[in-house]
Structure 1
């Protein structure tokens, strides 16, 4: 819920924030968050296995609160981006550990109901986020989008301290640190960072075929291949079990792209509000658009709540933490690809369709146009209508491309086997019920 509120609220307020901080690198406000959050997810899963779920979760909440405070105090775009990177570290760990704790406490056969409740909470708070973010930005108090995270983090920490009483693996800190797969973590963090940097620059700051994009992208892909090879053959304490989850990467890389369509839609949301202001859109047409979005939302809700099952069903329950941290890493990484693909298509289409008179006003390129989308209603005719049509036609192409990608995701699921769902949990990570239970010696599961 913390992630849903902050992300959706920030999306609505980003144009106002960009104008106030007078920055042109606003794309990194989201990319820095995604980069740090994605790259450190495998590490958070490994630390949770060594130091216990509660300690790592509390640390993630502290980092999230610190990052929120830094973002709220930002006086420049670079400072805000740095704060977002800190936020991403905490957010990535929170997402991973929540999934791991849920798998510790709830059998896979009962997970559907719990996943549904979590998704409902996330959806409700995400729906309220744009209203909250837009209202705060409109009143000039956008910094409270970040400051609001701090009391939420505090409340979550108190709840964890009072009610999450799970075992902590024995051993000294030095012993546990020696068991951390530092080489694997370094490989995956460096490779992910390189790929995300290339994808963020592509089509916006540099052309897709430029060395500034191709070099980090190729190096990142080579690093990911090296990471997989190292984990599969060399690592003494591997971060992940690679091959049992290879199919999940195909599914998530295809299907999670579609789940980013609302983000792309919101990133150009003022063109839609421009429709209402410039056209006075008929209620019937608005209803049709909302109906289409509702159908898409149903599909995305099903994907979000059900993809845990094919990941965990083939594996022993003792592998839950490693599997889920790897799964969350792939999901977040696929989301970065999804935003990039949609953004690249939109950028290319806008370059072809945007009126020359409009581009002359913004010599930095089409990307800068996102920061002035709220000003479109104030443009003079016929320029205003031409810009509006360019956005509408470009978004149509985005939908067509993502529909094709959704079809590829569907094809990748055809060979999925039907497996029984686990009806028990890993007792090594069960809640402690009393003093005697708390004193039991922790013994690694052989399941």
Structure 2
């Protein structure tokens, strides 16, 4: 096996250097290219037989057991990254109680996003320069270190530092998983496996509130962070042993020279400023305040400087000029942005509806969103299988975006009288639309770039998706807060009561039961919440519509399928 691995790595590097292996929408036409690609495949090991060996695009071969263990490791990384977001949200009240401080509460989430968002495109660039395995392992290790700091934190400031450290690693975990899958799985087969990855993300969204509630109630909120350590250690071991990708050649100075420090700085400045402005606006500061306006202006200026620097002054830009000049790549980024806005606009605010209407706790409200996640998980897997069989992505994106609009519109009509059947049905519809899009857009992007641009394409897709999520949560937060304040002022007698109701949606029913709130006020309060949330979900209809329109700008290519002999067939 050692000799086979050496031959495989040598052949893989030769194939990469000659760029004879084509992935995406192009395929070799002449016999010479076919012969070169056939020669790039390493011989199967004698003890497994050729029929039992999976040959990756890079020419390396994996037995079913090796590939299965590697894929499980990758799925665990996605589960960890998604779980971290939902499990921590449930633990926040206990954290505040334990540290006896409300100061810094919002920074528990903000610190993670501020650290993770700007570095997402950088991870793709570093993966091309230093190789997938070392960059991936460093990202997981940083995430683990941050989780350890949070789990042992003696104070709120230390916890916030830990969240920032975790964000430095967490920002690259999901895009790196997709990048590695694109390296070890042929393009036509990727939808099946990326569908499973999308399902892992959805399952973590369900498991997070349940696990967070159990740890907080039975053990300690610290276990919401410490649980990452054994799972992350297992993942690092599996990746270290079974991820066999060639490391790019060159001395360390040549590699360091390829890092776009200038572009990374200006992109990070723009991302940090806009993320913080959108997070703090309407909460810590009014939207028309000098700090918020200044940060937004500086973010725009930093983005312009980033664009000028990338075009005029950088030899190895963070995002290659070819991607900016590819209109199909731009369309993928636009779709990713609107998908992020729409998904988080719905999933982030749905629990508030269940807390107010049903009187659920935060954990119970999370359980009520399971129909949304089940619809997403089921369609992410089945659409992946269907895309693998047909090779087409755009029909699934068109239909999915249309269903998202319908689902968001139905959810916007839910009120205090909506029964369980209506709630479940509407959420399933929205989840089906999400599932059809959760990985189809990314796959479309992978099919319109050359293999050497794949890592950058995937990381930039993740960047725009997260940026859309931040915009969606912030904009809808302002819409919801302003509408709710206005409606509550017309039905409640005091500002103190209004603040209590706004900040404690899960305690409204309990307050009525204990007499803190007059029972006669329950109906108008519930109506104020549902009417305000309806506006939020209607914005999801609008962003879903924008996604639907943008989807027609995507390239209507068909993903390739391997022909006999390992040669890619041309698109049809």
TM-score scaled by length of structure 1: 0.86
Tell whether 2:336 aligns with 1:252: yes
Tell whether 2:252 aligns with 1:169: no
* Change in 2 beyond 3 A, CA 1:7/1:50: same
Residue of 196, 206, 217 corresponding to 2:285: 206
Say which SS state the counterpart of residue 413 (structure 1) adopts: helix
Partner of 2:41: none
Partner of 2:93: 15
* Change in 2 beyond 3 A, CA 1:2/1:302: same
Distance apart, 1:273 and its partner CA: 4.3
Say which SS state the counterpart of residue 23 (structure 1) adopts: coil
Distance apart, 1:294 and its partner CA: 1.1
Tell whether 2:436 aligns with 1:302: yes
Residue of 328, 337, 360 corresponding to 2:496: 360
Distance apart, 1:169 and its partner CA: 1.5
Partner of 1:428: none
Partner of 2:349: 264
Structure 2: segments with no counterpart, 5+ residues: 1-78, 365-414, 512-516, 563-572
Contact 2:340 2:467 in 1 (8 A): no
- Out of 168-177 and 199-208, give the one that drifted further: 168-177
Distance in 1, Cα, partners of 2:310 & 2:560: 26
Distance in 1, Cα, partners of 2:222 & 2:452: 43
Partner of 1:186: 265
Contact 2:179 2:454 in 1 (8 A): yes
Contact 1:17 1:137 in 2 (8 A): no
Distance in 1, Cα, partners of 2:457 & 2:509: 49
* Change in 2 beyond 3 A, CA 1:314/1:156: same
**Match runs of 1:128-167 below 5 Å:** 128-139=207-218, 141-167=220-246
TM-score scaled by length of structure 2: 0.68
Q: How many residues align?
A: 417
Distance in 1, Cα, partners of 2:360 & 2:233: 41
* Change in 2 beyond 3 A, CA 1:330/1:169: same
Tell whether 2:474 aligns with 1:340: yes
Distance in 1, Cα, partners of 2:428 & 2:147: 32
Distance apart, 1:416 and its partner CA: 2.7
Post-superposition CA distance 1:157-212 (Å, at most 9, x none): 00011100111112333332122110011011111001111101111111222221
Distance apart, 1:56 and its partner CA: 0.8
Tell whether 2:461 aligns with 1:327: yes
Distance in 1, Cα, partners of 2:439 & 2:161: 32
* Change in 2 beyond 3 A, CA 1:316/1:326: same
- Out of 401-410 and 262-271, give the one that drifted further: 262-271
Tell whether 2:514 aligns with 1:378: no
Post-superposition CA distance 1:125-171 (Å, at most 9, x none): 32111111122223361111110011111000000111001111123
Distance in 2, Cα, partners of 1:283 & 1:212: 42
* Change in 2 beyond 3 A, CA 1:269/1:20: farther
Contact 1:36 1:89 in 2 (8 A): yes
* Change in 2 beyond 3 A, CA 1:284/1:333: closer
Tell whether 2:310 aligns with 1:231: yes
Distance apart, 1:2 and its partner CA: 0.4
Contact 2:178 2:194 in 1 (8 A): no
Partner of 1:417: 555
Contact 2:269 2:299 in 1 (8 A): yes
**Match runs of 1:389-404 below 5 Å:** 389-404=527-542
Partner of 2:424: 290
Distance in 2, Cα, partners of 1:325 & 1:145: 27
Tell whether 2:92 aligns with 1:92: no
* Change in 2 beyond 3 A, CA 1:303/1:398: same
Partner of 2:409: none
Distance in 2, Cα, partners of 1:327 & 1:254: 12
Distance apart, 1:31 and its partner CA: 2.0
Say which SS state the counterpart of residue 419 (structure 2) adopts: helix
Partner of 1:243: 325
Say which SS state the counterpart of residue 438 (structure 2) adopts: helix
Post-superposition CA distance 1:214-245 (Å, at most 9, x none): 11112112212322232234320111132322
* Change in 2 beyond 3 A, CA 1:94/1:265: same
Contact 1:11 1:267 in 2 (8 A): no
Partner of 2:133: 54
- Out of 64-73 and 262-271, give the one that drifted further: 262-271
Distance in 1, Cα, partners of 2:312 & 2:557: 28
Distance in 2, Cα, partners of 1:218 & 1:110: 44
Contact 1:12 1:266 in 2 (8 A): no
* Change in 2 beyond 3 A, CA 1:264/1:243: farther
Contact 2:275 2:470 in 1 (8 A): yes
Structure 1: segments with no counterpart, 5+ residues: 425-447
Contact 2:113 2:167 in 1 (8 A): yes
* Change in 2 beyond 3 A, CA 1:19/1:243: farther
Contact 1:5 1:128 in 2 (8 A): yes
| Coordinate RMSD, CA, aligned | 2.5
Post-superposition CA distance 1:30-60 (Å, at most 9, x none): 2221221111112211211111111111111
Contact 2:187 2:560 in 1 (8 A): yes
